[in-house]
Amino acid sequence: MTTPIDIRSRRWPWPAAAVALGVAFTLAMMAPPDTVQGQLARIMYVHVPAAWLAYLAFTVTLVGSIGYLVTRRLSWDRLAGSSGEVGVYLTALLIALGMIWGKPTWGVWWTWDARLTLTAVMFFVYVGYVALRRTTSDPHGRARRSAVLGVLGVVLIPLVHFSVVWWRTLHQPPSIIRPDGPQIDDPLMLTALLVGTAAFTVVYAALVSKRMELDRLQLALAEARAAADQGVAGDAVAAPDLAEDMGAGR
């Protein structure tokens, strides 16, 4: 007899995520248009937070990977894998919005600019990370293999971020974290951008939380199925047929 698995959700982060996104959207619509780019500049209220949260997601993947390699606890691997998966979606959103912005600004959907190229490389590296986690059903084997890539892949984050400083690129330089302070002069625009980043952080935390919960349930289900397939000790021993034995003794 197998133990039933509780599949009820233990976390309900969606109301907090919805409120955060609602506040961020309201401020983004209240902010004035850019003096040069006009309404097109509103893309940055999603584009920039997506970039920062992609960095955060892959950094958490690094932390979870190191945590597993040190402790061999699957909870760390669950954190690393969930954060990496969410980071891939954020990077895809980042690239898509950048292309939408680039077409009217640069006249092309894509150019092999250093920032764009390195972001694409980062995206495909972590797509490979997610794919690697699906190459085996052994949880510890999966954790060991993916942890190595989770540690090595993080080197792309500083390359992507500082590419606009180290090389001549079409992409604009940093607007927020600068030695001389933020380049955005309008207080409402700066507030909308910072609140948008905070809102995306809440959404990121909600998605990672639910993805970890799903991974835990999948592991519990796999273990329950494996236990059911093994059967109960003694099943192979047949009970004696008393009627046949009595007939043979006559």
Q: What is the pLDDT of residues 95-135, one digit of tens each?
A: 999 999 888 888 888 888 888 999 999 999 999 999 999 88
Which phi and psi (to 5°) does residue 206 adopt? -65, -45
Shortest CA distance to 190 belongs to which of 38, 15, 44? Answer: 44
Q: How far apart are CA 169 and CA 158, in angstroms?
A: 16
Q: How far apart are CA 14 and CA 19, in angstroms?
A: 9
Alpha-helical regions (H) of the chain: 14-30, 44-71, 74-106, 114-132, 139-152, 156-166, 187-230, 242-249
Shortest CA distance to 14 belongs to which of 206, 212, 209, 215? Answer: 206
At residue 4, the 3 state secondary structure works out as coil
Q: Please determine, for residue 182, whether its predicted confidence score (pLDDT) is greater than 70.
A: no
Q: What is the pLDDT of residues 220-234, one digit of tens each?
A: 777 777 777 665 555
pTM value > 0.85: no
